[in-house]
Amino acid sequence: MSYEVRLNRKATRQSRKLDPHIKEIVKRRLREGLALDPSKYPLLSGGYSGLRRIAFSTPGGEFRAVYSVREDKKRVIVVFVGNRENFYKELQKYLR
Give me the DSSP letters along the chain. -PPEEEE-HHHHHHHHTS-HHHHHHHHHHHHHHHSS-GGGSPBP-GGGTT-EEEEEEETTEEEEEEEEEEGGGTEEEEEEEEESTTHHHHHHHHH-
Q: Check residue 94 and give its pLDDT.
A: 81
Ranges of residues in the chain with a pLDDT under 50 are none
- Can you list the domains of the chain with their CATH numbers? 4-95 (3.30.2310.20)
Q: Check residue 55 and give its pLDDT.
A: 94
Q: Check residue 24 and give its pLDDT.
A: 92
What order do you get walking across the sheet with 61-70 strand by strand? 4-7, 75-83, 61-70, 52-58
Q: Are 60 and 22 in contact (CB under 8 A)?
A: yes
